[in-house]
Structure 1
Amino acid sequence: MLRRSLSVLLGCLLLTQLSHAQFLKKLSKRLEQSTTAKDTSSSSGTVSLAGITESDAGSAIKEALAKGVSAGISKLNKTNGFFGSDIYKVLLPPDAVKIENTLRSIGLGSQVDKAILQINRSAEKAVGYAAPIFVNAIKKMTLTDALNLVKGGNTSATDYFKSKTTDELKAAFAPVIQKTLDSTAATRYYTDIVNTYNKLPTTFNKANPDLKDYVTTMAVNALFDQIGKEEAAIRTNPAARTTDLLKKVFGAK
């Protein structure tokens, strides 16, 4: 049932282009529905920090993360979300820099530019599929570390979330990345420049045309960076605490 609900949420995001506020509301609702049983079975009535219960703390942490996911997707899942960004633009993999330099030096820079553009287009498209993956990961967080996370540093919840879920998220995200790489022709463009390079008589170390792992890592890292920025804003800027729960928990620190 939860998977079906998340699929509906994703469909709504992609087909109707919900506003940031609407998307956050839906994310928060799904999180609340999927974590209520777990939260109430824990020590949810225990008063902890400034009258805040562990349940309040856990819900606030999850809401902050959901808000970060929403912000990240809205900023990255659009034309030039990656390609037009000084921070997130995906360049060729480090081990392909020699390919780029060599091909540009012999007048094949346009092939390299096409590959880079389509790689970024694939990342921009792929993050639109991230919502259910991140929602599933967020709902699995327990209340055990909730109070410490609330009292932690500006990105402590994001760092915790990242350390606990990165491998799982990459595994879930990789097929989506591969699909978008193929659909945007990024795979073909990148394979073309790698094969062109590999055929040069001066090439001794052949390059691997596989992009999936590299782009997956870059896309996931970009989303986590956006989540961290949103968490830091919630912790340091009262104006970013857009719900009563966020005001109650993070305003009491």
Structure 2
Amino acid sequence: MLLLPACASTGGGFSLTEAVRRLLLVATENAFARLTAPGGFWDEQVARIGLGDVLGSRGDVLGRILTSQAFKDRLEERFATFAIDASFRAAPVVTDAIRVIGFENALALVRGGPSAASDYLRQEVGSALLDAVVPELGEALRISRDPLLGQALAALTGVDVSGVADRFGRQIDDAIWGEIAREEAAIRADPEATRDPLLIGVFGLGSRV
């Protein structure tokens, strides 16, 4: 058990600051595992992002260009691959922030709502995750040798690749933080499932926090 005298703690000696940090680390680890698992959350949600949403109003042109459903499926699969690659680059941004971030009022985060800690973390991280993801997406779009993607982008006269990357990056950003929040809520609802003594002690039914 980690005991940090300088941090806010419970009567039982549990470090609330360390508990919040541990909560976010476990939630983030679970979130990225689910996001990138074959057939998991990422495939169900991000891989099905409408191309019209990603490409803006020009995305509607695809409805006339892509007459084959198989063609469209291949294109969306390619975008999903970019998203998964970006998520691997995003993970260290989040986990590194958790390790060094200060939690000025850990007790409030412990007693907060289902996603209080992840909401706080997202605010502290700011645009760092997007800053890491968007340039990589833009480069992937520019250098992609997938003929299907190249044909679709070429058909969209005047398409702004950096703009596509930015809009797609924001979709990824929302998906990542949404999943971290869901994992945090799950841990709060059933801390015993983590088998982590610190999380059980602070967030369990017997806690006096």
CA RMSD, Structure 1 to Structure 2 (Å) = 3.1
CA distance in 1, matches of 2:66, 2:183: 43
Following superposition, the deviation at residue 92 of structure 1 comes to 1.9
The structure showing larger relative contact order (alpha-carbon pairs under 8 Å, at least 6 residues apart) is 2
For the 8 Å contact 2:31–2:180, the answer to whether it is kept is yes
Equivalent AA in structure 2 for residue 209 of structure 1:
V
1:43 pairs with 2:3: no
Identify unmatched segments of 5+ residues in structure 2: none
After superposing on structure 2, the runs of 4+ consecutive aligned residues of structure 1 that deviate more than 6 Å are none
Give the match for residue 62 of structure 1.
21
Give the percent of matched residue pairs that are identical in Structure 1 and Structure 2.
23
1:74 pairs with 2:27: no
Matched positions, count: 203
Give the match for residue 209 of structure 1.
161
Give the match for residue 98 of structure 2.
138
Identify the match of residue 63 of structure 2 among 104, 108, 127.
104
Equivalent AA in structure 2 for residue 233 of structure 1:
A
Give the match for residue 219 of structure 1.
172
Instruction: Give the structure-2-normalised TM-score.
Output: 0.78
59-68 vs 105-114, which moves further:
105-114
Give the match for residue 151 of structure 2.
192
Identify unmatched segments of 5+ residues in structure 1: 1-35, 199-205
1:120 pairs with 2:120: no
Paired residues for 1:82-97 under 5 Å: 84-86=43-45, 89-94=48-53, 96=55
For the 8 Å contact 1:52–1:249, the answer to whether it is kept is no
1:243 pairs with 2:206: no
